[in-house]
Structure 1
């Protein structure tokens, strides 16, 4: 269902901003699309095995028009910190949003405010997920908290601070609001539109038309599916994100028929799944129950346990996750079609990425948080008019670079305090001589859900050093070193291998330099 138009066209005249037609025509529009927990492994343009069975043609089409980044990373693999990093161009400890339930420092300037001050019309639609009002936006339609998949609540400037239920599926509604902004914007001004999808965040609820998609598919198992973590530090063994032990039968796999009597359930996931189903209308609920009745029957028939149960859960998890990706791909296509139909492709930069990566069974896991590649690395596609098409980039880039890139596209010099670099020079197909040679990562959110311990580290083009640390009450001091060329799956911790002593010392020096230069003030303090 299409939304009611809540956007009031801006009536600001050009003279207010001090630029005229020629300036307007030279200004680049920006569309930044970000999903939640979308793994690069599930975009077929990246060439992985999952993409062969579940292709993403519209994302592939965008990649064919632009540049596919092979080494894009986050600085903290967690949703809200990643969003704060985007808006401020700062590391987590610099913008205040270290953890999921912390608070971004609202005295920091958001790049959207800078764009407004330079004559841009700005909008954000979909998932905001920060404990502050959207700053620097002329238009917003943002989801409550994580957002629901079915008939979610949105807040806008016209709802008096209240979240109002909208009829429809979250992925479709988010695109509806993006197009609503584009339809009613002031066409005399350049624009920046952030399209932040809720999907494919847990618990991966497909839209009705895709409830049976991939029903008979058999997805390949990753090489590390049965990882035993035997060379790793304690955190790899102590986490709670394993498909076999921690993925719930009701909330994650939708078998609400089991109710409270199943030994696989915990109270929160039974109530959470029921609350999600209760949002549906009668027709949707009928379709939903018919679709998952088959899964329930299969579960009861197999009576799987141990390794067989782990495989069964993985297959069903993949089906729901990839069904959500199918809807994302559809909506990216719909937005591209709008831009093409309205002659906007020749003056609009389009970015597609995720707030972090995600485990698709690698190491036997789901979720994110660790500095291991699958959660540390994200998809990133950038289309820029008149730049080289169908190209790939191997430079080390990070989400601290997105705010400087958007400002650069708008012809605005980044503020001196922003720590990232504009990615626009990379779009020529060549890596500048002075481009960074390594990147810094820091995860803070412990104790918390999934029990991933605090750690920081540094990665260069071949090697990665990770340091796990604890608190005074719960001490931990453990290191891991990986040769990503010889061991891309990060199975063999080389930290105590004398053959890698010089590599270890070099990376430790860089890690210490990052900590000192960035003034990581909470390191080992709590």
Structure 2
């Protein structure tokens, strides 16, 4: 038997070392996959990792338990389309051009998926897009037209319109898993996986209908807020549970017999199928039953039967109780919560289904998994539903990130982060240079520092909302939020300021702007606000082009 001489041994050792180094280098160069999960209007109050009062979300919670949970993630503009544009571009609304939902996204500007694709990623966009223009920068897309439908949803798939059987939350996940099955396994992937739920009008899957009928949810302490001590902005909105929810569309107060008798009333009109239609019927209760009939008629006969079994009981209860005044508000709140949270349960189930698939495929730990929403939402706080305001429930959005290679399990962060930071963060982890045009910052230094904000991290964030007059009639406003304080200026047809001390008044019930003892606080915050406006190039905030008034200039708010 031949043996190696000393020269051969040296050569062999050098060869083995070279192979080891090459393997190490290859491992270092392997790019992480990225799955960006975003729901619509899913507030932190309805995620048990943040708040355990209302619903259990074990699969969503798993992302936080095995990664990092951000307690202070905020949006720059709390409304669907603009938030999505900020996330894609890493730029504020006044820079990317999508200030409100009437606009169409300018797809000629650089978005982070394009940069990832250029760097070798396979890219997919699945689910709710809501930007008006067709997706650009994706190898595959299958998107819901405008707001999308809960039952038998339409999709635009690589330019072709199709209709799918089933419940939208399940179908979007089917498509996501289908992409993962068929993708190029030699490439890292970016998959943007965006659900419609739990967006209004909160239609649960048939398997979840009535699941909370025996539950009485705790009421927020300010459900019956009368806005004393605050100005016109808080009082003149149209998002009160008490007066602004629609009986059929929101509360499902229409029996099967009544709906069947109306069949054909909405023929020829597709409410909300385009941005023009979506805005044409803002706050208009005269179309309530016609709008609901359209989505009801998307169900199969079997689905309608299951639906009617639950909601005919609700109508009967309402007729029996005939609640009035504060009792009516409380009754509506309970129905709203039952439907909203049942939609959340379907989201949670499908997050679990997706993660189980990744785990079986051996891709879970090499994938950065992000869970967030396009903004927060009011679950009865101040008596509100919807979002838009710079108040905490609307401003704050959930953010959890799982990536065991770089993020320690169970990390919790108090750092002030924004949806403006998402794009730079993804590019940073992928080893791609962050464009100077992006105004956000990579959150990686926070995550590398066990969730603690480095010394040079932001101490305040800037917000600007534009969509008025429009849905819910929330006044245009901008403001600053620090760790302790929030200063808001409402403008356009009013000029009002609000100041909140979040340490002493976390529910934001007492406007302190005119209190003499807070004069120095106001002056300092105004200086910081100007600095942020200069940094983000929003130096003329009240003159920015906003939502077209053509549909609303002659329309008075519906007071019914």
Q: Is the TM-score greater than 0.5?
A: yes
2:370 pairs with one of 351, 363, 375? 351
2:345 pairs with one of 326, 332, 355? 326
Tell me what 1:483 maps to. Answer: 501
1:20-61 Cα deviation digits (max 9, x unpaired): 9927962111010000000100101113422xxx21111112
**Cα distance, 1:279 vs. partner?**
0.3
**Would the aligned equivalents of 1:153 and 1:163 in 2 still touch at CA under 8 Å?**
yes
Superposed, 1:67-466 pairs within 5 Å as: 67-157=68-158, 161-257=159-255, 266-386=285-405, 387-428=407-448, 429=450, 430-466=452-488
1:410-468 Cα deviation digits (max 9, x unpaired): 11121111011111222231321110000000000011010000000000111000000
Work out the CA distance in 1 between the residues paired with 2:187 and 2:136. 19
Work out the CA distance in 1 between the residues paired with 2:228 and 2:513. 14
Shift of the 482–48 alpha-carbon distance from structure 1 to 2, 3 Å rule, reads: farther
**Cα distance, 1:266 vs. partner?**
2.7
**Cα distance, 1:221 vs. partner?**
0.3
Shift of the 283–265 alpha-carbon distance from structure 1 to 2, 3 Å rule, reads: farther
1:366-395 Cα deviation digits (max 9, x unpaired): 000000000000111111123211121000
Tell me what 1:492 maps to. Answer: 510
**Cα distance, 1:124 vs. partner?**
0.8
- Give the gaps of 5 or more residues in structure 2: 1-23, 263-282, 546-560
Work out the CA distance in 2 between the residues paired with 1:209 and 1:373. 33
**Would the aligned equivalents of 2:142 and 2:157 in 1 still touch at CA under 8 Å?**
yes
Tell me what 1:9 maps to. Answer: none
Shift of the 265–296 alpha-carbon distance from structure 1 to 2, 3 Å rule, reads: farther
Partner secondary structure for residue 256 of structure 1: coil
Shift of the 109–23 alpha-carbon distance from structure 1 to 2, 3 Å rule, reads: farther
- Deviation larger for 197-206 or 60-69: 60-69
Partner secondary structure for residue 520 of structure 2: helix
**Cα distance, 1:233 vs. partner?**
2.2
Work out the CA distance in 2 between the residues paired with 1:210 and 1:318. 13
**Cα distance, 1:170 vs. partner?**
0.5
**Would the aligned equivalents of 1:80 and 1:100 in 2 still touch at CA under 8 Å?**
yes
**Cα distance, 1:115 vs. partner?**
0.6
**Cα distance, 1:346 vs. partner?**
2.0
1:185-207 Cα deviation digits (max 9, x unpaired): 00100001110000000000000
Partner secondary structure for residue 456 of structure 1: strand
Q: Does 1:507 align with 2:517?
A: no
Work out the CA distance in 1 between the residues paired with 2:108 and 2:155. 25
Work out the CA distance in 1 between the residues paired with 2:194 and 2:535. 32
**Would you say how many aligned residue pairs link Structure 1 and Structure 2?**
495
Work out the CA distance in 1 between the residues paired with 2:51 and 2:237. 29
Tell me what 1:8 maps to. Answer: none
1:150-201 Cα deviation digits (max 9, x unpaired): 01111112xxx33211111100011111101100000100001110000000
Work out the CA distance in 2 between the residues paired with 1:169 and 1:130. 22
**Would the aligned equivalents of 1:72 and 1:380 in 2 still touch at CA under 8 Å?**
yes
1:82-102 Cα deviation digits (max 9, x unpaired): 010111010000000001111
- Point out 4+ residue stretches in structure 1 off by more than 6 angstroms: 258-261
- Give the gaps of 5 or more residues in structure 1: 1-19
Work out the CA distance in 1 between the residues paired with 2:413 and 2:539. 33
**Would the aligned equivalents of 2:153 and 2:167 in 1 still touch at CA under 8 Å?**
yes
Work out the CA distance in 1 between the residues paired with 2:540 and 2:196. 31
**TM-score (norm: length of structure 1):** 0.92
Tell me what 1:10 maps to. Answer: none
Q: RMSD value over aligned CA atoms?
A: 1.8
